[in-house]
Amino acid sequence: MIRFDSVTKSYSGQSRPALNDIGVEILRGEFVFLVGASGSGKSSFLRLILKEEKPTKGQIHVLGQDLGKISTRKVPYFRRDLGVVFQDFRLLPNKSVFENVAFTLRVIGKSRGFIQSAVPETLKLVGLDGKAKRMPHELSGGEQQRVAIARAIVNKPQILLADEPTGNLDPVTSAGIMTLLERINAGGTTVVMATHEAGIVDQMRRRVIELSAGDIVRDERSAGYDGQTVRDVDYVPETGDGSGDPGAEVDETDATGRDEAAAAGAAATAGTMSTMGHAAPKVTPEIMRDAEPLYVEPEATDEVTEAAAEITKAATGAIVVDPEKLVPKGGGKPAASEHLTLAERLGLRAPGGPREGDDDQEVGPTK
Ligand SMILES: Nc1ncnc2c1ncn2[C@@H]1O[C@H](COP(=O)(O)OP(=O)(O)OP(=O)(O)O)[C@@H](O)[C@H]1O
């Protein structure tokens, strides 16, 4: 689905490459966290997948296509299968929620009818039903990010790239956004997400690719932020005086998730740094566990209900069988015209056995 073969990316004026001879493959349906210190190459990795940057050396294949062979003219077509979400949402400030989500569809020439049904459907999916007319500034940060996610998935992309999508959000909202991305992934979309959020990575236990100064230094399945050793569920930040008071609670504002700055400040004051040089997990395991699902399961439409009714009817109803086809191989009299149930046709029940409506219904396994 995504393959890097010996990829190096050097920017002009930089003494060392942002990515250094990278080789990696991401399969369809995977959920991959890209972790690593600031400047380790995570965003460069995502931009290369999008063909926003060209590799200095090596080859990249995405969705079976060699990106080096896609002409500039065809890049927009290639990107239709990719959705992107950024830390700073990047919504169009003077367009409504509906228009923000519809925008990409209009650009790629989708019909009015398609847009009128796809946009509300996607807004519902991300839990923003009823907010279509709002302007971005009338929404909370989490809601704005959900608009950005709706925009990224409205065209049902095969791959969703997310560059620190929770970076600007409070812990509770971050956890909610993760339930949404998890659900999108469960629907078959491959998700690649760059993050500094140890709490999220530790709790979700997905594939983790760690970059360090442009090298892949770790590629593990079901891993935590710092490797297989996932933080204890009752992780408590150490205190600055080194006492490591086990009774110390995570700052209340962190637990309620409404004051990201205060939480980050508290962690910094506590002097707690992860091995990658970042503050202690903002999104604690408790917050991840209690995350409100933001994804709304689509309701069965009439179409689905009718299709289901047809299937039920076929399974329980009678099928008229041509009597000619019931002539025994060795000759003999053709059987009289007969109705067989689907169960009989499939050999699950002997023809002529008890049927629906018979007084003496079969309830146990057939002999
Ligand atoms: N357009 C650019 N021009 C020059 N150098 C760049 C450019 N983009 C990135 N770099 C450099 O490439 C290296 C990798 O940057 P990149 O943005 O990929 O890292 P990152 O892991 O995403 O960092 P962060 O976590 O801070 O977002 C850094 O040294 C950065 O300064």
> How close is the Cα of 37 to the center of ligand 1, in Å?
11
pLDDT of residue 157: 93
SS (H, E, C) the chain: CEEEEEEEECCCCCCCCCEEEEEEEECCCCEEEEECCCCCCHHHHHHHHCCCCCCCEEEEEECCEEHHHCCHHHHHHHHCCEEEEECCCCCCCCCCHHHHHHHHHHHCCCCHHHHHHHHHHHHHHCCCCCCCCCCHHHCCHHHHHHHHHHHHHCCCCCEEEEECCCCCCCHHHHHHHHHHHHHHHHCCCEEEEECCCHHHHHHHCCEEEEEECCEEEEEECCCECCECCCCCCCCCCCCCCCCCCCCCCCCHHHHHCCCHHHHHHHHHHCCCECCCCCECCCCCHHHHHCCCCCCCCCCCCHHHHHHHHHHHHHHHCEEEECHHHHCCCCCCCCCCCEEEEHHHHCCCCCCCCCCCCCCCCCCCCCC
- 17 in ligand 1 pocket by Cβ < 6 Å? no
Q: How far from each other are the two terminal CA atoms of the chain, in whole angstroms?
A: 48
> How close is the Cα of 18 to the center of ligand 1, in Å?
6
- pLDDT category, 1, cuts 50, 70, 90? very high
Q: Evaluate if residue 295 carries a pLDDT over 70.
A: no
Q: Evaluate if residue 365 carries a pLDDT over 50.
A: no
Question: Per-residue pLDDT averaged across 259-270, rounded?
Answer: 34
What's the rounded Cα separation, in Å, for the pair 239 and 256? Answer: 21
Domain ranges within the chain, ordered by starting residue: 2-81+157-232, 312-345
> How close is the Cα of 166 to the center of ligand 1, in Å?
19
Question: Per-residue pLDDT averaged across 162-173, rounded?
Answer: 89
**Token pair in block for residue 306:** 């009718």
Residue with the smallest CA separation from ligand 1 atom 11 is 18
Question: Per-residue pLDDT averaged across 38-45, rounded?
Answer: 96
- pLDDT category, 316, cuts 50, 70, 90? very low
> How close is the Cα of 17 to the center of ligand 1, in Å?
10
- 166 in ligand 1 pocket by Cβ < 6 Å? no
Question: Per-residue pLDDT averaged across 217-245, rounded?
Answer: 60
Q: Can you give the C-alpha Rg of the chain in angstroms? A: 28
> How close is the Cα of 246 to the center of ligand 1, in Å?
38
pLDDT over 70 percentage in the chain:
65
Question: Per-residue pLDDT averaged across 39-59, rounded?
Answer: 97
What's the rounded Cα separation, in Å, for the pair 68 and 156? Answer: 24
Q: For all residues of the chain together, what is the average pLDDT?
A: 75
| Residue 327 CA: distances (Å) to CA of 196, 209, 319, 320, 344 | 72, 65, 17, 15, 17
For residue 41, give the ligand 1 atom closest to its CA.
18
> How close is the Cα of 38 to the center of ligand 1, in Å?
8
Q: Decide: 45 and 37 in contact? Cβ < 8 Å.
A: no
Return the half-sphere exposure (C-beta side, CA atoms, 13 A cut-off) of residue 135.
4
What's the rounded Cα separation, in Å, for the pair 361 and 367? Answer: 14
Please state the ipTM of this predicted complex.
Answer: 0.98
pLDDT of residue 330: 47
Q: Decide: 31 and 185 in contact? Cβ < 8 Å.
A: yes
- 231 in ligand 1 pocket by Cβ < 6 Å? no
pLDDT of residue 367: 32
The whole model's pTM is what?
Answer: 0.70
Q: Evaluate if residue 71 carries a pLDDT over 80.
A: yes
Residue with the smallest CA separation from ligand 1 atom 18 is 41
Residue labelled with tokens 């062979």 = 69
Q: Evaluate if residue 293 carries a pLDDT over 60.
A: yes
Q: Residue 162, class by beta-carbon neighbours within 10 Å (0-12 exposed, 13-18 middle, 19+ buried)? A: buried
pLDDT, tens digit (0-9, with 9 covering 90-100), for 85-127:
999 999 999 999 999 999 989 988 899 999 999 999 999 989 8
The domain 2-81+157-232 having CATH identifier 3.40.50.300: the answer here is: yes
Give the residue, out of 40, 50, 161, with the most ligand 1 atoms within 8 A of its beta carbon, to mutate for a pocket test: 40
Give the residue, out of 19, 33, 43, 88, with the most ligand 1 atoms within 8 A of its beta carbon, to mutate for a pocket test: 43
- 40 in ligand 1 pocket by Cβ < 6 Å? yes
Q: Evaluate if residue 361 carries a pLDDT over 80.
A: no
